[in-house]
Chains A and B, each alone.
Chain A
Amino acid sequence: MLDDFLVRALLGGIMVALVAGPLGCFVVWRRMAYFGDTMAHSGLLGVSMGLLLSVQPIIGVAIVVVLAALALFWLERFRWLASDTALGMLAHGSLAVGLVVAATVPGLRIDLMSYLFGDILAIGRTDLIWIGAGGIVALSVLAFIWRDLLAATVQTDLAQAEGVPVARVRLIFALLVALLIAAAMKIVGILLVTALLITPAATARRLSGSPEAMAVWAGAVGCVAVSGGLGLSLWLDSPSGPSIVLAAIVAFLLVLLITTFRAKKAAA
């Protein structure tokens, strides 16, 4: 069954969506959409470096994205530097370096399109094992730091005063997002990774009364988006990454319409 590229694509996509949902909730709550985008942009440099040093691109990406997260974490200490400014410089700076390296190093040929927009149908058995193992580790770590991370998100001072290791859980969270981005690049690509993080979470907000419920709903909505997007891609022969993001946006709009209509009906 795993021989079928569609089954592999579906499994890989669902595993990534299950992790992206809960992580995406924190990205939404902490208003870090641009943070995710910045780390994704640095991914191209990771691809170039990976190819340059002849290691797997996904490993190069993971390392460079983690470094970008650490750089952001460090830049956050400077109160005189607005965080969106730091993010913008790092996003475009690292993308620029990635493009320059890709273009100037002789013998380095990069299929830009597959990295920018994803290539889910090319997921192999090895990729699947890595994504699965990584996903289980990521969800376990997230469950372990959940209460602390949520407390730090609701009110940083309060959490820290009451003994939550705020700096540590924020760092762990940033690393989890970095790793997810490296994995999700294969699914939807550098330019669309953020959509996979924030769209299911935003959809889940309309369906949830607690942070935990929102995390579960976001995972579920992500799975629907991956399945629907792959179906759409088969049906229309459209590129898979953009189709998945399109499916996620359609799910958001449907939920928005239905919940708004219901609320109006209840109020009438």
Chain B
Amino acid sequence: MDTGPDRLAPLPDRRVLASAQALAVAFGGRTVLSGVDMDIAAGEIVTIIGPNGSGKTTLVKALLGLVPVTEGAAGLAKGTRIGYVPQRFAVDTVLPLSVNRLMTLTARADNRAIATALDRVGVGHLRRADVASLSGGETQRVLLARALLRQPDLLVLDEPVQGVDFAGEAALYALIGELRDEMGLGVLMVSHDLHVVMAATDQVLCLNGHICCAGVPSDVSRHPEFLRLFGRQAAATLAVYRHDHDHDHDLHGEVVSDHDHSHDHSHENSHDHTH
């Protein structure tokens, strides 16, 4: 596997779940992505950031086999089970669909497993609700619960905090980190929101039609390409938010679980060079 100069050296026991090699994707002759090399392994959280139209969703879709690859290769390792939370999800009111039924959309599950998954994400009380009646934040959480119920190897979240308020956003990222620790999942996220994302991820891919820079968040946030793309102001804000996040652990309390949350995983990568 080709790893660019900006990437960490792969650990010997990494179980790669999805990868792209020299990937290019073009729609109607317009190149959206080119020269993308990346991979994600079990237990890793990789976040793709970049401006609007930078090809974030396209990269995810290429990895999932939802868009045709123009050059190079992209795809899942054989046998990788996917839990997918797409960027857009709206159920038409012509289709009567409860949260309970949505949970078993692509695979069967027993009642207890459904209840456990919904409770884990803090939306157990919504089980009988109509999907069409949910708020943006509730929909995101229900979709996350649905994806988890599949017991995926790789959780793919395209803009997971859409419609979620700021406190809920931090809690949601914290939850994703916990899930990774508990279940050993790989997590591939897309975000154009820099604030919390950097603190909650192991690896950042900064995308703008190609990979501008990649690596651990603290490195990427000082990378010249990153500063050029997002501006020094944004990068400074980012540092402040990351600092903030170290002190917001009361939000974990929102999440119902019988697991021990006392460990601290959300900023494994926020080392001493933040400021």
Specify whether A and B are partners: yes
- Contacts of A161 on B, CB cut-off 8 Å? 64-66, 82, 84, 86, 156
Are the CB atoms of A163 and B82 closer together than 8 Å? yes
A160 to B82, CA, bound (A): 10
Q: Bound complex: CA of A154 vs CA of B66, how far in Å?
A: 16
Tell which of A150, A157, A209, A211 touches B84, judged by Cβ atoms closer than 8 Å: A157
Contacts of A163 in B (CB 8 A): 82, 106
Cα distance, A28 to B95, chains bound together (Å)? 8
- The chain A residue with its CB closest to the CB of B143 is A158
Give the total of A residues in contact with B, Cβ under 8 Å. 25
Which A131-153 residues sit within 8 Å CB-CB of chain B?
147-148, 150-151, 153
Q: Which of B86, B89, B92, B107 contacts A29 (CB 8 A)?
A: B92
- Interface presence of B94 (CB below 8 A): yes
CB proximity of B77 to chain A, nearest CB, Å: 14
Interface of B is mostly: loop
Q: A161-B66, A161-B84 are in contact. Are A211 and B96 (CB under 8 A)?
A: yes
Distance between Cα atoms of A148 and B108 in the complex (Å): 11
Which of A28, A154, A205 makes the CB contact (< 8 A) with B102? A154
For B141-184 the 0/1 string (1 means CB < 8 A from A) is 00000000010000010000000000000000000000000000
- Is B83 an interface position by the 8 A CB rule? yes
**How many B residues touch the partner, as a band?**
20 to 34
Please tell me which one of the listed residues B66, B97, B102, B150 contacts residue A160 in the complex, with CB atoms under 8 A apart: B66
B105 within 8 Å of A (CB atoms): yes
**A159 at the binding interface (Cβ < 8 Å):** yes
CA distance A21 to B84 in the complex (A): 31
- Number of residue pairs across A and B with beta carbons under 8 Å? 66
Given A162-B106, A162-B150, also A153-B66 (CB < 8 A): no
- Tell whether, in the assembled complex, residue A205 and residue B82 are in contact, meaning their CB atoms are under 8 Å apart: no
Closest to B146 in A: A158
Asked if A154 contacts B105 (CB within 8 A), the reply is yes
Residues on the A chain within 8 Å of B150, using CB = 162
Summarize A's interface: helix, strand, loop or mixed: helix
Write out the residue numbers on chain A whose beta carbons fall within 8 Å of the beta carbon of B113. none
Residues in A with CB closer than 8 Å to B249 are none
At the interface, yes or no: A126 with Cβ under 8 Å from chain B? no
Q: What distance in Å separates the Cβ of B113 from its nearest Cβ neighbour in chain A?
A: 16
- Docked-complex contact B84 and A154, CB < 8 angstroms: no
Give Cα A209 to B99, complex, Å.
11
A79 to chain B, nearest CB (A): 8
A29-B94, A29-B95 known; A211 and B101 CB under 8 Å? yes
Smallest Cβ distance from A152 to chain B, in angstroms?
10
A214 within 8 A of B: yes
Q: Are B96 and A213 in contact (CB under 8 A)?
A: yes
Query: Chain B contacts of A158 at CB under 8 A?
Result: 84, 86, 89, 105-106
Give A220 Cβ to nearest chain B Cβ, in Å. 16
**Which chain A residues border B96 with CB–CB below 8 Å?**
205, 208-211, 213-214
Binary CB contact string for chain B from 66 to 93 against chain A (1 if under 8 A, 0 otherwise): 1000000000000000111010010110
| B98 contacts A by Cβ under 8 Å | yes
* Chain B residues with CB under 8 A of A213: 96
The yes or no answer to A155 lying at the interface (CB within 8 A) is: yes
- What are the residues of chain A within 8 A of B95 when measuring CB–CB? 29, 153-154, 211
Tell me the bound Cα distance from A47 to B95 in angstroms.
35
B61 CB within 8 Å of chain A: yes
CB<8 Å pairs between A and B, sample of 16 = A31-B94, A151-B106, A154-B102, A158-B89, A158-B105, A158-B106, A160-B66, A161-B64, A161-B66, A161-B84, A162-B83, A162-B150, A164-B106, A205-B94, A211-B101, A213-B96
Q: A29-B95, A160-B64, A213-B96 are in contact. List 20 more A-B contacts (CB 8 A).
A: A29-B92, A148-B106, A150-B105, A153-B95, A154-B102, A154-B105, A157-B61, A157-B86, A158-B84, A160-B65, A161-B64, A161-B82, A161-B156, A162-B106, A162-B107, A162-B150, A163-B106, A211-B96, A211-B97, A214-B96
